[in-house]
Amino acid sequence: MEILLHLGAHRTATTTLQHMLGQSHVGLQGAGLGYWGPKRLRAGLFDGRYSANDTPLLGKSGRAQKRVRLQARKAADHGTALLFVSEENMLGTMRRLLTQTRLYDGAGTRVARFAAGFEGHGVTLGVSIRCYDAFWTSVIGWRLRHGGMLPDGALCERLITQPRRWRHVIADLAQAMPGIAIRVWTHEAMAGRPDQLITQLTGVRLAMRGQDAWCNPTPHAARLIAECRDRGLLDGAAAVPLRAGRFMPFSTHQRAILRAQYQEDLDWLAAGAGGLATYIDTAGAKTQRLTGQGRGRPDDQDDGCLAQAG
């Protein structure tokens, strides 16, 4: 059986993709495809437990490995040719991202522990990436809604100067799992095309359900302001950072730096990623501006941030 470990990243339409796969169980099964998503993985299979420093416990316990291997064997025995396993916390948690202010530090070691549960099967890693200004804004917005504080200038500066880029995350994965296939796509190009993405990853064209869903988006600025006011975060001089009426903690200059960093990643991917990964953005998707319902909602900050061919 082939295993596709969809690692996220967070805030790259992973929940939307997972919703669509969960809604399309019958069609997937008929095509010999299986799907394990967070609902199953965090409820016992991967069990969602992390140590005090957010390192995964799976892989340290022989029992945990046996549990995954047993369920994978059952899936193969029932005729599953390709098992799609989607869990963005394999890369690391969003809380860890902002606590460390580094982009998925130690991702290779973490993912290797999860991948070890599928020993004996062919494993491919799937990684979606996103322009840094939009990615970090979305992560900060999520954290703000889940008990975090308003971002300050120091946090934004640390996120700009932190040394890790998507290419380093990909290199970590390749180093931790030599010879493993890694497929990479961008949020800008593929988030609005989950059906095409599934075809790219599995080689099977299916009529998928739930494609119109837009799950777990960054909330509109008005909603963020209301929630911050309810939590007492807007006392004194504190304010929700807005630009053109949208939540955006980075200045225009800072956004330019982050976008230039992202362009370097895209150029690296388009040039072959040093043989470490395959870049699968479709040619037609690479130059489309994301606006309106095309997965570029105004509060998601992706309009004008293009994933371009090298």
In-domain check, residue 203: yes
Residues 58/113, Cβ–Cβ less than 8 Å: yes
- C-alpha 67/C-alpha 44 separation (Å) is 9
pLDDT above 70: residue 60 = no
Look at residue 210 in the predicted model and tell me its pLDDT. Answer: 54
Rounded to the nearest 10 degrees, how much is the dihedral formed by the CA atoms of 176, 64, 56, 60?
Answer: -70
The answer to whether the CB of 171 falls within 8 A of the CB of 113 is no
pLDDT value at residue 237: 64
Q: Considering its fold, how many domains does the chain have in total?
A: 1
Query: Per the domain annotation, does 28 fall within a domain?
Result: yes
Which tokens hold the place of 31? 């095509």
Residue 248 lies in a domain: no
Rounded to 10 deg, the angle between the 166-176 and 107-115 helix axes is: 40
286 within 8 A of 307, measured Cβ to Cβ: yes
pLDDT of residue 293: 29
**Does 121 reside within a domain?**
yes
Give the pLDDT of residue 25. 82
- 38 has pLDDT over 80: yes
Three-state secondary structure string covering 98-163: HHHCCCCCCHHHHHHHHHHHHCCCEEEEEEEECCHHHHHHHHHHHHHHCCCCCCCHHHHHHHHHCC
9 in Cβ contact with 127 (< 8 Å): yes
| pLDDT confidence band for 208 (50 / 70 / 90) | low
In a domain, 154, yes or no: no
Predicted pLDDT at 47 = 60
**From the centroid of its chain, how far is CA 144?**
18
Domain range for 93: 2-149+163-217+262-300
- What is the mean predicted confidence (pLDDT) over 176-193? 94
Question: Within 13 Å of residue 265, how many CA atoms lie on the same side as its CB?
Answer: 27
Predicted pLDDT at 8: 93
Does the pLDDT value for residue 289 go beyond 80?
no
- Point out the least confidently predicted range of 44-48, 175-179, 220-224, 272-276: 44-48
- Cα 71–chain centre separation: 24
| Residue at 23 is within a domain | yes
**86 belongs to a structural domain:** yes
Proportion of the chain above pLDDT 70, given as a percent:
82
On whether the CB atoms of residues 125 and 51 are closer than 8 A, the answer is no
Q: What is the mean pLDDT of residues 132-161?
A: 93
Mean pLDDT, rounded, of the chain: 84
The residues, ordered by sequence, that sit 6+ positions from 89 with a Cβ below 8 Å of its Cβ are: 8, 38, 42, 48, 50
- CATH value at residue 171: 3.40.50
The C-alpha atoms of residue 105 and residue 300 are separated, in whole angstroms, by 24
Supply the pTM of this predicted model. Answer: 0.86
pLDDT at 310: 37
In a domain, 96, yes or no: yes
* Contact (Cβ atoms closer than 8 angstroms) between residue 163 and residue 275: no
What confidence tens digit (pLDDT) does each residue in 217-267 have?
777 788 888 888 888 888 766 788 988 788 999 999 999 999 999 999 999
